[in-house]
Structure 1
């Protein structure tokens, strides 16, 4: 049997029925997929990730991430609440946006996969990306050999972009340290 990739947004009903997601996405909004990917690659702000708790409540957290291979990759402790939540329901919403004018960013929905990372490969990459290396006390604490680490891979199923640069030209903050 050949399964055709989805071309529409994935719904809760689709998720429960095991719909196939082909991994490709084309964003709505002003940016192309390439522009959205460049923003996600260059931006150093944490991703805001939301999911559902086992009781049906909403949960939101911020995590460091990197964008590669069409997906967002995060790292966290294996004991983190979000790991339990994603095991129950892998559906997520996310946002990566700058905090200073002109406001712009990428938001969407996706499916999260949690996997062990005994070598802390993703964490090491994130420490390089956000802290410039592994020499800090924070990095050493996170890399402790007794700390179990997992990766969270987010495969986008629906993506939207926005960029208010044209209408916020007089509100641009020249002191912003965000390269995106």
Structure 2
């Protein structure tokens, strides 16, 4: 069961994750114990994050060794807000590229672009990464940043 805390209700947190087109930043450990951060497209479904990546990506090897991750989905422009947390990643083959197609449609809106065609090419083997959150914390600086803007001379 996921522990949810922060400024948003569970519904508000889920709405933000479902509506946002921001990549998820995933932190994991490399084999030598140092940290590694990667940004991936995601969809939030069934109380978990689903991502896809190339089977030869570094993160695949790192998650095979240690499936525990931290994550962040936050805006890059003011007002800053988002969700951060930690969880456990599991991986499976995405031979039919079902997850990848859904992510391309979510972020690019169709599969007709050159990038989409390259990602969906038969030469790429895809892995589905599912992150089951243990904890999620929402934060929102909208009011704080609006108050600062309103106090300017």
Question: If the TM-score is normalised by the length of the shorter chain, which range does it land in?
Answer: over 0.9
Q: Take 1:126 and 1:170, find their aligned partners in 2: how far apart are those partners?
A: 36
Give the TM-score, by structure 1 length.
Answer: 0.80
Give the TM-score, by structure 2 length.
Answer: 0.94
1:101 partnered with 2:78: yes
Q: Take 2:92 and 2:66, find their aligned partners in 1: how far apart are those partners?
A: 15
1:33 partnered with 2:10: yes
Aligned counterparts, 1:84-123, within 5 A:
84-123=61-100
Deviations 1:84-139 (A, max 9, x none): 00000000000000111111000000000011000000000000000011101111
Structure 1: runs of 5+ lacking an equivalent: 1-23, 173-180
- Point out 4+ residue stretches in structure 1 off by more than 2 angstroms: none
Deviations 1:11-51 (A, max 9, x none): xxxxxxxxxxxxx2232111111111111000001001110
Aligned counterparts, 1:1-180, within 5 A:
24-169=1-146
Displacement, 1:61? 0.6
Q: Take 1:62 and 1:38, find their aligned partners in 2: how far apart are those partners?
A: 20
| Structure ranking higher in strand proportion | 2
| Structure ranking higher in helix proportion | 2
Q: Take 1:133 and 1:89, find their aligned partners in 2: how far apart are those partners?
A: 34
Q: RMSD of the alignment, in Å?
A: 1.2
Q: Take 2:68 and 2:136, find their aligned partners in 1: how far apart are those partners?
A: 14
Structure 2: runs of 5+ lacking an equivalent: none
Q: How many residues align?
A: 149
